[in-house]
Amino acid sequence: DHASERWPSHGQRSSITQWLSFNYITIKRTIHALRINTLASALITLAFALMSHPMDITTRLSFDALPDEVQRSILGYMDISSLAALCMTHKAVENENIASLCSDDVTWYAIIQSRFGIGCNHRRIIRKQKQEGVVFASRSLSSSIDGMRSTEGRKRRPTTYGGKDWKEAYRVLSSTMKIPEMNITSGSHNVSGGSACFASPYLRGRKVKNSVADYFGVWCMVNHAENCRTKTVQVQMGRRRRRTHRGIAREPVSLPYRLDRRYIELKLCLQNTKSGFGRVVIPDISAMRIPSLDEEACFASYGWDKWDDEYDSTFQLVEAGPWAPRILLRRRFSDDDAAHLDAQEWNAKSGVKDLILRPFEVVVLSVHISCPESMVFETDALSSMSSIRIPIVADGWPSTIKQVNNTHGCEATSKKDVSIARFVPEDSLWECYSQLPGGCLSLVDRSRLVPV
């Protein structure tokens, strides 16, 4: 009976609606900055919808009565498990209930873009200095008509990725842990793509208990040399001296590394595949281990705790100097991401380097690995590497996950684990290389030689 006294008047609703319409973007960014949970975000969006669309108080309020734009905004804060549970609440009726929005192609294509980068623009913007009387033309397009045709030809279809719709395509892509599409990775999951992926995440299966490693992907690529050989300190110092003698303005940099070792540069693609809220932290990037085939068999039998700092491994990570680990690319595929990208600050940091990845965030890391002097070619090193092991820790995950899992009779998710990526066998490795007369090697696809 007293509902009319508590409900705002029409004039009050119009003033509040006007204020919310101007400050909606600010409220949404504040939600991201404060990391408010899904329920609080949904209540704020619901309040905005009720103020924006006044209705009779006697009308029965329903979640399906909200506009589609407001419902999609609420769905954007949900993780994949919550979204899948919402799809099964009742039968989906097109354009009539929330279950239809949770299952349509618009929602799942946006999720695929956020995680895999499919359909996103991955070109790096190169800013050129303006010169008077000079016009810069694009080399890829000859006219605006060609540009329109090429844009129309880039339309993605779910059948290309193994699904009849984008929801099923996401299930296929996530089950195979597809590498995200970027200008460095080119979306290749195997060695036959544009950028060869020589190591991919190790899938443990459903029989193993849940762990943070199940939500972290590691892929390995190689920054190939022209002759497919590993680096040496003498050759690199000679190249730097020749550049200085030719008059190029570059200071000579010393390489404080061992002369009896060879080096190979790997590009590691790291991604937090967890949706919703929750970060994955690498406490120290120098704790990464790359065992050989013999070391893998040995430590798997006697325990990985035997691998300490005093152990002289076959492959060692270069931790300091010009070849120290550095970030090549750091990106989230979300348009609402207003966080700063601290790649340069991280590269200039000395000492212990930790790495924090937010949901669906991708980082491409360049690392130099020291290998024995007998490994002259890249194939010698890659065929001897067994796996990549990176210790990771979950941060900011729901504190009630243990209670929820125990309620359903499942084991709690482990917050500390080691993410593993397995290298491809030697037979698959030779699909990228071809042996030339005279004991030389060459890549099958020469486009992979583009430097980063």
Rounded to whole angstroms, the Cα distance separating 220 from 428 reads: 15
> Which of 348 and 403 is assigned the larger pLDDT?
348
What does the pLDDT average to over 408-413? 45
pTM: 0.76
Q: For residue range 14-55, list pLDDT tens digits in order.
A: 555 555 555 555 555 555 544 445 555 555 555 555 555 554
Rounded to whole angstroms, the Cα distance separating 339 from 33 reads: 9
Nearest alpha-carbon partner for 329 in 290, 265, 368, 271: 271
256 confidence band (pLDDT: 50, 70, 90): confident
Instruction: Please tell me the predicted confidence (pLDDT) of residue 390.
Output: 96
Instruction: Please tell me the predicted confidence (pLDDT) of residue 361.
Output: 92
Report the SS3 class of residue 221.
strand
Rounded to whole angstroms, the Cα distance separating 369 from 147 reads: 42
CB 181 within 8 A of CB 120: yes
Q: For residue range 191-242, list pLDDT tens digits in order.
A: 433 468 999 998 776 555 678 888 999 999 999 888 899 999 888 776 655 5
Q: What angle do CA 235, 237, 242 make, to 5 degrees?
A: 95
For residue 267, pLDDT over 70 is answered with yes
Q: For residue range 314-338, list pLDDT tens digits in order.
A: 999 999 888 999 999 888 755 444 4
Q: For residue range 201-214, list pLDDT tens digits in order.
A: 987 765 556 788 88
Q: For residue range 138-156, list pLDDT tens digits in order.
A: 433 333 333 333 334 467 8
390 φ/ψ sector (left φ>0, alpha ψ -120 to 50, else beta)? beta
Number of H helices, E strands in the chain: 15, 12
Q: For residue range 59-116, list pLDDT tens digits in order.
A: 445 666 778 888 888 888 788 888 888 888 777 666 667 788 888 898 899 899 989 9
Cβ-based neighbours of 17, under 8 Å, separated by 6 or more: 51, 52
- Compute the half-sphere exposure of residue 394: CA atoms within 13 Å on the CB side of its CA: 22
Residue whose structure tokens are 């989230």: 332
Nearest alpha-carbon partner for 338 in 65, 32, 113: 32
